[in-house]
């Protein structure tokens, strides 16, 4: 009997390919709508994300995890619904143009969903009615509900990508912390048992389309493509 090729084994999941989420600090979230004040008890490293996480405790004794803003310190206070100051969680309607924000809600009450990596932020461009235009790092401009909440500032650890790995072992440990395989070889240089593109005597990737209903791991290349090949000049 054969065995599953690596991509299909990754799709199925298993101890080798599943991220060790039991080691992660937890899910980041926002408090319910309202005016709250929380104190930063600690700022910790979460193996599951690139930015450090602040442990916030409210006056009612509730604790949540929140992406730490650059410059936030242990003992600082974070306000919900207060002034648009670094680390505070404020609705987009209360923020002036040009403000840098992160931890953006996709709809009111969804919790932080966008711009959560270290050093990644969006910029508030303008307001129109009950919509606010926000420009993301990619340059794309999106209109969001003005009741969506964001965190003021920039996620901490923005200089993370400036430091070289120096050793392959450092990269190996960092990748395996999140259940990633490292190092990885190109599919075209693998054997047929390891990848659908393997076993060829030449390097170029074969052109292939895959059904939308294909099993996990078989979806490699163009998935449910409407057309393939270069467009002919008109």
Residue 228 domain flag = no
Local confidence band at 214 (pLDDT 50, 70, 90 cut-offs): confident
Domains of the chain: total: 1
Interval 71-92: pLDDT, tens = 999 999 999 988 899 999 999 9
Residue 156 domain flag = yes
Q: Domain containing 140: what range?
A: 21-78+86-160
Bridge partner residues of 150 (DSSP): 90
Residue 27 domain flag = yes
pTM over 0.85: no
Local confidence band at 2 (pLDDT 50, 70, 90 cut-offs): low
- The CATH number that applies at residue 55 is 2.30.30.30
């Amino acid at each position: 009997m054969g065995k599953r090729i690596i991509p299909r084994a990754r799709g199925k999941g298993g101890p080798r390919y599943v991220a060790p989420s039991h080691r992660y600090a937890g899910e980041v979230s926002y408090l319910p709508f309202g005016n709250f004040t929380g104190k930063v008890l600690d700022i910790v490293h979460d193996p599951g994300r690139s930015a450090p996480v602040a442990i916030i405790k409210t006056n009612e004794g509730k604790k949540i995890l929140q992406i730490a803003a650059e410059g936030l310190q242990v003992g600082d206070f974070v306000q919900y619904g207060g002034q648009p100051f670094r680390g505070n969680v404020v609705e987009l309607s209360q923020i002036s143009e040009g403000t840098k924000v992160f931890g953006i809600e996709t709809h009111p009450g969804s919790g932080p969903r966008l711009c959560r990596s270290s050093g990644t932020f969006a910029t508030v461009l303008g307001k129109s009615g009950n919509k606010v235009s926000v420009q993301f790092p990619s340059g794309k401009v999106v209109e969001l509900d003005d009741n969506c909440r964001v965190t003021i500032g920039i996620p901490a650890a923005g200089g993370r990508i400036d430091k070289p790995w120096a050793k392959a072992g450092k990269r190996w440990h960092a990748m395996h912390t999140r259940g990633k395989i490292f190092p990885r070889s190109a599919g075209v240089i693998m054997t047929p048992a390891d990848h659908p593109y393997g076993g060829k005597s030449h390097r170029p990737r074969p052109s292939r389309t895959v059904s939308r209903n294909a099993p996990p791991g078989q979806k490699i290349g163009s998935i449910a493509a409407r057309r393939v090949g270069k467009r002919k000049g008109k």
